[in-house]
């Protein structure tokens, strides 16, 4: 759970507006870093206590698209945690704990996915990404 807590704090450092449960922004973009891909955050579901969104890097060059992270994340404001749900549209983990020996594999995949999210978020922060612009404002 410490990793989920670290992911939460990295996401808030990257996009401070995620603290606000009354968020009225559908999408954030950061295209301020020259010669770097654009970082994009797009909400799929948003409630008072949770937010589910996609977070992706985008190059203008379509040939590079497969090389970049494209993940689905759920943020839990009440418990101050964030977890990786999937990558490139494929669920990383099912919502239910499997039976028998598959439990260990399920837990390892879940941990590895969230470790990846943590490393990627820290990389984005070190590169200088900051998702707080009005360029994605839809309302």
Q: Each residue of 86-131: pLDDT tens digit?
A: 877 556 655 566 666 677 777 888 898 899 999 999 999 999 999 8
* SS3 of residue 29 by DSSP: strand
Q: Each residue of 58-87: pLDDT tens digit?
A: 877 665 556 577 899 999 999 999 999 987
pLDDT the model gives residue 133: 57
- In sequence order, the 6+-apart residues with CB closer than 8 A to the CB of 97 are 103, 106
Domain definitions of the chain by residue range: 2-136
This prediction's pTM: 0.81
Q: Under the phi-then-psi rule, with left for phi > 0, alpha for psi from -120 to 50, and beta for the rest, what region is 21?
A: alpha
Find the range with the poorest average confidence among 16-25, 34-43, 67-76, 103-112.
16-25
- What is the full DSSP assignment across 100-121? TTHHHHHHHHHHHHHHHHHHHH
pLDDT the model gives residue 19: 83
């Amino acid at each position: 759970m410490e990793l989920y807590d670290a992911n939460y704090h990295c996401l808030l450092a990257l996009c401070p507006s995620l603290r606000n449960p009354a968020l009225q922004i559908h999408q954030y973009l950061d295209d301020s870093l020259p010669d770097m891909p654009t970082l994009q955050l797009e909400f799929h579901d948003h409630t008072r206590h949770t937010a589910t969104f996609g977070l992706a890097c985008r190059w203008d060059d379509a040939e590079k698209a497969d090389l970049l992270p494209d993940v689905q994340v759920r943020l839990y404001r009440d418990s101050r945690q964030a977890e990786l749900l999937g990558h490139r549209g494929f669920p990383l983990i099912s919502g239910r704990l499997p039976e028998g020996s598959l439990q260990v594999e399920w837990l390892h995949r879940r941990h590895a996915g969230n470790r990846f999210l943590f490393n990627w978020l820290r990389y984005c922060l070190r590169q200088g990404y900051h998702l707080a612009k009005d360029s994605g404002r839809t309302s």
